[in-house]
């Protein structure tokens, strides 16, 4: 499955791409209309790539969360602890475990990896929404030009 992932572009690069792609050449509305599906596909690809990465990180997060629950409950043996490089943790009351999990450094690292991908998906969704409106914007522009020309 690792080979299926498309090229993931960082959020700042996606922003740079959109700064360029968002410009419309008003002298060639027909060409601009033809660009819409190409741009749409470009940003949908990024949504898919980043969404796949989020799913992979969620699997990693869930696996680590299970280990950390066992760790905080004192259910890990010395071999597991040594293999993971962790030291023995006392015991956490069941009612307090979520407090420990929310502040857990191992889980926080994985969450931090997810954030840029989630933001990229949100950004690309906004771009796709704008691209969906672009057809209407270009049509309105053409209608305006006809009106101004007296047609």
What digits encode the pLDDT tens for the residues 37-81?
A: 999 999 999 999 999 999 999 999 999 999 999 999 989 999 999
Give percent of the chain with pLDDT exceeding 90: 67
Domain residue spans in the chain?
2-149
Is residue 150's pLDDT more than 90?
no
Q: What pTM did the predictor assign?
A: 0.82
pLDDT given at position 27: 85
pLDDT given at position 22: 93
pLDDT given at position 138: 75
DSSP characters for 4-17?
A: GPPPP--HHHHHHH
Which sign, positive or negative, has the C-alpha torsion 129, 114, 55, 74?
negative
pLDDT given at position 147: 79
Rounded to whole angstroms, how far apart are CA atoms 50 and 102?
A: 24
CA 72, distance to chain mean position in Å, is 30
Rounded to whole angstroms, how far apart are CA atoms 102 and 107?
A: 8
More confident residue, 146 or 131: 131
């Amino acid at each position: 499955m690792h080979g299926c992932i498309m090229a993931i572009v960082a959020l700042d690069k996606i922003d740079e791409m959109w700064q360029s792609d968002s410009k419309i050449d008003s002298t060639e509305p027909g060409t601009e209309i033809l660009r819409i599906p190409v741009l749409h596909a470009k940003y949908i690809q990024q949504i898919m790539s980043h969404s796949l990465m989020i799913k992979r990180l969620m699997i990693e997060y869930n696996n680590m969360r299970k280990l950390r629950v066992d760790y905080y409950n004192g259910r890990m043996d010395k071999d597991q602890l040594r293999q993971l490089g962790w030291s023995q943790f006392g015991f956490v009351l069941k009612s307090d475990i979520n407090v420990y999990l929310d502040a857990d450094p191992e889980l926080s690292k994985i969450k931090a990896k997810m954030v840029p991908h989630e933001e990229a998906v949100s950004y690309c969704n906004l771009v796709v929404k704008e691209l969906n409106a672009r057809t209407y914007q270009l049509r309105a522009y053409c209608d305006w030009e006809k009106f101004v020309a007296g047609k």
